[in-house]
RNA sequence: GGCCUGGUAGCUCAACUGGAUAGAGUACCUGACUACGGAUCAGGAGGUUGCAGGUUCGAACCCUGCCCGGGUCACCA
């Protein structure tokens, strides 16, 4: 049994013995004692004042006495108002350290036998990845790692939105203005190459639309259609979509292309395959530099027709109902949602139809019992509807569906808008942070004697750590402001700060290895000091933190843990000599403690997808 | 307008899910290395937790009302 559970059991027994009242051991809440007080863990006794019918300090005193005599690991306690702070014995802590110091998988949970799917990334194929995708990918990847560490079997998937009008725009622009260019013969990365044509299409369309607005026909149209005091600008902004669908030459051409694609026209499909292929090659490079990969890719071109049979079945089961025009709906008003369409009157699918079908397909492919969708919070409502619908359909996995919803990323100048060219490109950003680290490192001159390959690898690890940590440390739900300048900060609450703690420890361990040191933690080192205790209690919470992070799907809690542990170590390192400790026993103890700190830091950072350098 | 979501130091974020004097980083001032690596450490200054009520021994957190951002309410995806 875990020591904390032992203590909870102890509290339960104390209350039963002292006040003849039964409580659940699980209801007992223990918190790590705050730094400014003495003790390892704290029991808040206010909840028991009614049961004990005494003042809080009295009750704390009584429970404290009971615990001290009945729980062998507890060596002492003190009472501050209604707070009972108790300490574990030094023997307990030394045992904890020597038992776990060489355990590389310390903190990882027991196998749960559960299979979990995580869907993330899921880009469109008409333009390269940007900052928003990076947040998505980092959250998805680290959630996946955390779920795995918590003992689950995890499958990473993404669904690629490879069809639709957007890619047709790129295709059309390439056909018209591409002049036979390819990523190979222009030396451009595939996704950027295709994205360029998407942008070109949009700007040509804009030119066409603007020209029409200024033509006699356009002006007449405005005058006869405007509502009230509407300005031209307002009106034409709203009318844009209609113009594209009904009047635009370019719009017409793009739509024709989409129809041809849907009809399976050979030439169109071949072009579509070719251009998407370029994009995939480009994405692959970006995923690779972020250090992520997937177990399976789903393509929307294969899944967009799925789900219709399930609608059929749901109709029979009265989950759905049909309107007069033949469209199919679900009524979720009793669950405080609306009526939602699930199949059009012409019998074709909508967005949610294919999501229903895809969920089912995944269940058949992998037998996952739990699914996590990493998607921005603008789709909160969609997922509420999807999950409720799947539940009503009685799908076996429907009780364990989660939307890891995250806030959009803003720039200090405001929202990112691809149309206005204010997006931060993923590849550029990655290259930038690494370059910044390189410049910085050259200035320091610490690792000059290493080979260029080794140095580049170190720059890469540090640069990515800075970027990833900067993004992951913010709670997912929070809309975040991304300042490119701050993302390359290497000091303070940053990835490199954590890496630096690790590197310092490695340096000590290298030095220690050259000396003959007895690393056994004996009984002679009697008094564990306050800062050592802080490190130990921090390490001690790591296993439960992984479980909590997995339950909450919150990688930011791991990032904050890394920072705090690194911070405590830096302080400890500054105030205590390790290799020149006052005694052999102290040295052995501190080396072992440092070693475990390094192991846990590396393990926790790995959960964030961040690699540790050995030197920096 | 309905629903969802957020509002904490100048700025970027925490707060172990209702606990102790609301903490970090950054920016601004000050101090600390002839070294177990200064990508570090210590100190100063910086707060009516959007506002007003309520519940509680105890509220940034729960309830009510209001104010300000963002999202969403398509036979788009």
pLDDT tens for A527-585 read 888 899 999 999 999 999 999 999 999 999 999 999 999 999 999 999 999 998 888 88
In whole angstroms, give the CA distance from residue A115 to residue A92: 36
Nearest to A136 by CA among A287, A277, A282, A280: A287
pLDDT at A7: 94
Q: How far is CA A219 from CA A183, A236, A303, A505, A525, in A?
A: 42, 11, 44, 72, 89
Q: List Cβ neighbours of A330 (8 Å cut-off, separation of 6 or more).
A: A314, A319, A320, A321, A339, A340, A342, A385, A389, A392
**Which nt sits closest to A41, CA to C1'?**
B16
Nearest to A257 by CA among A269, A273, A247, A275: A269
**What sign does the dihedral A431-A436-A441-A443 (CA atoms) show?**
positive
Hey, which of A437-446, A515-524, A607-616 has the most confident mean pLDDT?
A607-616
Length, in residues, of chain A = 616
From residues 345-364 of A, list those within 7 angstroms of strand B by Cβ.
345-346, 349-351, 354
- Looking at the DSSP bridge assignments, the partners of residue A83 are A44, A80
In whole angstroms, give the CA distance from residue A33 to residue A14: 20
**Which nt sits closest to A441, CA to C1'?**
B39
User: What average pLDDT is seen over chain A?
Assistant: 92
Rounded to two decimals, the pTM is 0.94
pLDDT at A522: 67
Return the axis-axis angle of helices A249-262 and A266-290, rounded to nearest 10°.
90
CB of A82 nearer than 7 A to strand B:
yes
Answer yes or no: is pLDDT of A372 > 90. Answer: yes
| Mean pLDDT computed over A243-250 | 89
pLDDT at A242: 83
Residue with tokens 């590849």: A427
Question: pLDDT tens for residues A168-178?
Answer: 999 999 999 99
**What sign does the dihedral A412-A415-A419-A423 (CA atoms) show?**
positive
Q: List Cβ neighbours of A231 (8 Å cut-off, separation of 6 or more).
A: none
Answer yes or no: is pLDDT of A117 > 70. Answer: yes
Q: List Cβ neighbours of A608 (8 Å cut-off, separation of 6 or more).
A: A138, A142, A145, A468, A469, A472, A555, A558, A559, A562
In whole angstroms, give the CA distance from residue A212 to residue A215: 5
pLDDT at A222: 87
Question: pLDDT tens for residues A28-43?
Answer: 889 999 888 889 999 9
From residues 295-354 of A, list those within 7 angstroms of strand B by Cβ.
300, 304, 323, 325, 327, 336, 338, 341, 344-346, 349-351, 354
ipTM associated with this complex: 0.95
Q: Enumerate the domain spans of chain A.
A: 3-88, 164-275, 308-348, 426-607
| Mean pLDDT computed over A403-426 | 85
CB of A520 nearer than 7 A to strand B:
no
Token code pair at residue A446: 């610490």
Q: List Cβ neighbours of A148 (8 Å cut-off, separation of 6 or more).
A: A154
CB A370 within 8 A of CB A117: yes
> Measured in angstroms, what separates residue A375's CA from nucleotide B26's C1'?
30
Token code pair at residue A505: 């420890």
pLDDT at A517: 77
Other Cβ atoms closer than 10 A to A302? 15
Token code pair at residue A103: 């355990």
Token code pair at residue A441: 């490192």
> Measured in angstroms, what separates residue A378's CA from nucleotide B77's C1'?
13
> Measured in angstroms, what separates residue A3's CA from nucleotide B42's C1'?
36
Residue with tokens 């919470």: A541
pLDDT at A523: 64
Answer yes or no: is pLDDT of A472 > 70. Answer: yes
Q: How far is CA A76 from CA A95, A103, A299, A479, A570, in A?
A: 18, 29, 61, 45, 29
**Which nt sits closest to A559, CA to C1'?**
B14
Question: pLDDT tens for residues A486-495?
Answer: 888 999 999 9
CB A123 within 8 A of CB A164: no
CB of A445 nearer than 7 A to strand B:
no
Residue A1's pLDDT band (boundaries 50, 70, 90)? low
What CATH topology corresponds to A3-88? Gyrase A; domain 2 (3.30.1360)
| Mean pLDDT computed over A588-613 | 96
In whole angstroms, give the CA distance from residue A428 to residue A415: 18
Residue A514's pLDDT band (boundaries 50, 70, 90)? confident
In whole angstroms, give the CA distance from residue A114 to residue A154: 8
First to last CA, chain A: 41
pLDDT at A465: 96
pLDDT at A476: 94
**Which nt sits closest to A79, CA to C1'?**
B20
> Measured in angstroms, what separates residue A240's CA from nucleotide B7's C1'?
35
Strands A370-376 and A115-119, sheet pairing: parallel
> Any idea which of A15-19, A25-29, A142-146 has the lowest mean pLDDT?
A25-29
Q: List Cβ neighbours of A377 (8 Å cut-off, separation of 6 or more).
A: A405, A406, A407, A408, A477
Give percent above pLDDT 90 in chain A.
75
> What phi-psi label fits residue A130: left (phi over 0), alpha (psi between -120 and 50 degrees) or beta?
beta
**Domain A426-607, architecture per CATH:** Orthogonal Bundle (1.10)
Residue A2's pLDDT band (boundaries 50, 70, 90)? confident
Nearest to A546 by CA among A568, A566, A565, A561: A561
| Mean pLDDT computed over A599-604 | 97
In whole angstroms, give the CA distance from residue A538 to residue A467: 25
- Looking at the DSSP bridge assignments, the partners of residue A41 are A32, A86
From residues 463-492 of A, list those within 7 angstroms of strand B by Cβ.
473-475, 477-481, 483, 486, 489-492
CB A56 within 8 A of CB A49: yes
Return the axis-axis angle of helices A266-290 and A131-149, rounded to nearest 10°.
60
Nearest to A396 by CA among A373, A375, A351, A366: A366
pLDDT at A582: 85
Maximum Cα–Cα distance for chain A, whole Å? 96
Answer yes or no: is pLDDT of A84 > 90. Answer: yes
């Amino acid at each position: 049994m875990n020591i904390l559970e032992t203590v909870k059991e102890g509290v339960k027994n104390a209350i039963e013995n002292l006040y003849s009242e039964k409580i659940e051991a699980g209801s007992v809440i223990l918190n790590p004692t705050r730094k400014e007080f003495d003790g390892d863990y704290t029991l808040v006794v206010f909840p028991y004042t009614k049961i004990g019918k005494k003042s809080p300090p009295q009750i704390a005193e009584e429970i404290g006495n009971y615990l001290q005599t009945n729980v062998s690991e507890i060596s002492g306690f003190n009472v501050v108002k209604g707070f009972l702070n108790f300490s574990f014995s030094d023997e307990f802590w030394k045992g904890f350290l020597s038992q776990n110091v060489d355990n590389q998988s310390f903190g990882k949970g027991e196998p749960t036998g559960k299979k979990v799917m995580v869907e993330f990334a899921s880009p469109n194929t008409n333009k390269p990845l940007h900052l928003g995708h990076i947040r998505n990918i980092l959250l998805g990847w680290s959630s996946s790692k955390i779920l795995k560490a918590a003992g689950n079997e995890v499958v990473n998937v993404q669904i690629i939105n490879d069809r639709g009008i957007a890619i047709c725009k790129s295709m059309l622009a390439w056909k018209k203005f591409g002049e036979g260019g390819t990523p190979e013969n222009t030396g451009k990365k595939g996704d950027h190459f295709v994205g360029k044509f998407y942008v070109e299409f949009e700007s040509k369309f804009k030119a066409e639309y603007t020209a029409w607005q200024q033509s006699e026909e356009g002006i007449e149209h405005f005058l006869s259609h405007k509502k009230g005091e509407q300005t031209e600008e307002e009106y034409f902004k709203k009318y844009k979509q209609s113009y594209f669908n009904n009047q635009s030459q370019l719009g017409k051409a793009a739509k024709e292309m989409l129809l041809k694609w849907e009809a399976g026209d050979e030439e169109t499909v071949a072009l579509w395959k070719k251009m998407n292929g370029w994009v995939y090659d480009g994405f692959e490079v970006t995923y690779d530099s972020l250090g992520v990969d997937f177990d399976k890719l789903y393509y929307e071109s294969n899944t967009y027709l799925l789900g219709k049979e399930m609608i059929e079945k749901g109709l029979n089961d009265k989950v759905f109902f049909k309107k007069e025009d033949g469209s199919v709906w679900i009524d979720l008003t009793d669950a405080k949602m609306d009526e939602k369409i699930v199949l059009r009157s012409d019998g074709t699918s909508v967005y949610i139809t294919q999501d229903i079908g895809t969920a089912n397909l995944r269940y058949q492919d992998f037998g996952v019992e739990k699914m996590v969708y990493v998607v921005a919070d603008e789709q909160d409502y969609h997922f509420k509807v999807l999950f409720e619908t799947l539940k009503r359909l009685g799908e076996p996995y429907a009780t364990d569906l989660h939307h890891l919803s995250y806030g959009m990323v803003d720039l200090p100048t405001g929202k990112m808008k691809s149309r206005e060219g204010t997006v931060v490109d993923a590849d550029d950003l990655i290259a930038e942070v690494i370059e910044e680290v390189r410049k910085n490192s050259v200035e320091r001159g610490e690792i000059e004697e290493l080979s260029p390959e080794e140095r580049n690898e170190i720059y890469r690890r540090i640069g990515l750590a800075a970027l990833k940590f900067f993004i992951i440390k913010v709670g997912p739900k929070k809309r975040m402001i991304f300042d490119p300048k701050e993302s390359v900060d290497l000091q303070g609450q940053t990835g490199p700060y954590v890496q630096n703690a690790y590197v310092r420890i490695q340096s000590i361990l290298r030095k220690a290895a050259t000396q003959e040191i007895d690393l056994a933690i004996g009984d002679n080192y009697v008094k564990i000091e306050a800062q050592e205790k802080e490190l130990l209690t921090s390490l001690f919470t790591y296993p439960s933190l992984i479980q909590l992070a997995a339950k909450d799907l919150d990688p930011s809690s791991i990032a904050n843990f890394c920072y705090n542990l690194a911070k405590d170590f830096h302080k400890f390192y500054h105030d205590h000599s390790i290799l020149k400790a006052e005694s052999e026993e102290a040295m052995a103890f501190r080396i072992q403690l440092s070693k475990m700190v390094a192991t846990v830091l590396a393990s926790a950072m790995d959960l964030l997808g961040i690699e540790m350098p050995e030197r920096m």
